[in-house]
Amino acid sequence: MSAQQIIIVGAGVYGLTAALELRRRGYRVSLLDPGPLPHPLAASTDISKAIRMDYGADEEYLSLMETALERWRDWNKRWGTPLFHETGLTYLCRGAMAPGGFEYESYQTLLKRGHGVERLRAADVRRRFPAWNADQFTDGYFNPAGGYAESGAVVTRLLSEARALGVELHEHQTVTQLIESRAKVNGVVTQNGTRFVGDLVILATGAWTPHLLPQVLPELKHWFRSTGMPVFHFKPAQPELFAEAVFPTFGADIANTGYYGFPLHPVNGVVKIANHGVGRTLHPNSPERVVTDRDIAQVRAFLAEAFPVLAEAPIVYTRVCLYCDTWDGHFWIAADPNREGLVLATGDSGHGFKFAPILGGLIADAAERRANAVLAKFRWRPAVHPPKSEEAARYQAEGARHDAPNLERPA
């Protein structure tokens, strides 16, 4: 690729890591975001994100995370102040692990690849992890590799590195148009009329992707959906029960409950519990982007079953985290085959952050059209469409209600 100036739209973890990698490869890079940076509504702007290799039977994601995990450790060494906390991860289920289940398949795949995972029975859970209700969660495993990262702090650190490396950061810039000539994208125009001209444009707009430029890229609303997941911070009465050594990052029968969480945060002193289930289809700018009474009742019921000592703990903070999901569950990192000069880098931001140390390289390879076997999984695939269902129809109607040319769209 002969491009020298690259415009990246969206300064979340996709856009930021791509900007760093492309700058290291010698390109001039302009990174645009509605801002401020880090943007408070971005999925990555949070106190913690899970860093895990556990992906059921999917060895491709596991293999990618083996590389990413080593680079997380390298980042810790380079930064001096560790922002990746390798607490290990506990995945427990109600009843015995069984073939086809997330815990069983993850455990078997990790063993197959030589990782030192430990099987946990109810007695082990009761002895080692006293906050858990071992009468309900009776089987599973502990993986000592992985844990969580202080995600907002990581983004702040990467932004500092981008500035130092010469990436041009442009806050408060909402893209409203593509600049096109003869089927080639040559840049973007922002809401205030500023033109950013370049040889290549990368759209890394996270949960705003299906609502971005609806007149120019209407297909995006068919390939992606914005889903909102509730997040809670609890203040435990017995914080010692939630220290890293006895309460590592966890998934609690996650394929059935959707609940996962983290040990006591080293700075905030809270226990974060979140749900990654079906979620609510939401436009990122919707006024309904709030945790509901139903969300609270459901998490309280879950805590009463899983961690009774936390069931009545005060909730000190909530948010709805917006993901950009693809209908097939995989990232989308590829050049547009119909518009020269345009690359899309997004999809399934619910699990994208953990790949941060390698995401930039994948996106840069897609931009340069370098051979990379991994990118076949994340290729341009217009055949991926929502199922013909009432839920999908409601989702698309919700998106249409909010799409307008001047919306704020953080990455």
CA 250 – CA 254 distance, rounded (Å): 9
Distances (CA, A) of 1 to 21, 346, 370: 15, 21, 9
Q: Is 108 exposed, middle or buried (0-12, 13-18, 19+ CB in 10 A)?
A: middle
The dihedral through the CA atoms of 160, 161, 167, 173 has a sign that is: negative
CA 128 – CA 136 distance, rounded (Å): 15
Q: How many CA atoms lie within 13 A of 88 on its CB side?
A: 17
CA 373 – CA 380 distance, rounded (Å): 14
Are 198 and 405 contacting, i.e. CB atoms less than 8 angstroms apart? no
* 233-261 residues labelled b (16+ CB within 10 A) or e (exposed): bbbbeeeebbebeebbbbbbbbeebbbbb
pLDDT of residue 166: 98
Tokens of 207: 């949960």
pLDDT of residue 3: 58
Single-letter code of the amino acid located at 1: M
| Cα radius of gyration rounded to whole Å, the chain | 21
Q: How big is the chain, counted in residues?
A: 411
Tokens of 314: 């005060």
Single-letter code of the amino acid located at 38: P
Angle between helices 59-79 and 102-112 (to 10 degrees): 70
End-to-end CA distance of the chain: 26
Per-residue pLDDT of the chain (411 residues; tens, 9 = 90+): 455 999 999 999 999 999 999 999 999 999 999 989 998 888 888 999 999 999 999 999 999 999 999 999 999 999 999 999 999 999 999 999 999 999 999 999 999 999 999 999 999 999 999 999 999 999 999 999 999 999 999 999 999 999 999 999 999 999 999 999 988 999 999 999 999 999 999 999 999 999 999 888 999 988 999 999 999 999 999 999 999 999 999 999 999 999 999 999 999 999 999 999 888 888 888 899 999 999 999 999 999 999 999 999 999 999 999 999 998 989 999 999 999 999 999 987 668 999 999 999 999 999 999 999 999 999 999 998 887 654 444 444 444 333 332 222 222
Q: Specify whether domain 85-147+226-326 bears CATH 3.30.9.10.
A: yes
pLDDT of residue 389: 59
Whole-prediction pTM: 0.92
pLDDT of residue 350: 67
Q: Which of 364, 59, 9 is nearest to 208 (CA)?
A: 9
> What value, to the nearest 5°, has the Cα angle with vertex 207 and ends 155 and 9?
60
What's the CATH code, domain 5-44+152-224+327-402?
A: 3.50.50.60
pLDDT of residue 319: 96
Tokens of 67: 């590389």
Are 72 and 151 contacting, i.e. CB atoms less than 8 angstroms apart? no
Contacts of 219 (CB under 8 A, 6+ apart): 382
Q: Where are the domains of the chain?
A: 5-44+152-224+327-402, 85-147+226-326
CA 390 – CA 394 distance, rounded (Å): 6
Phi, psi angles (nearest 5°) of residue 75: -60, -45
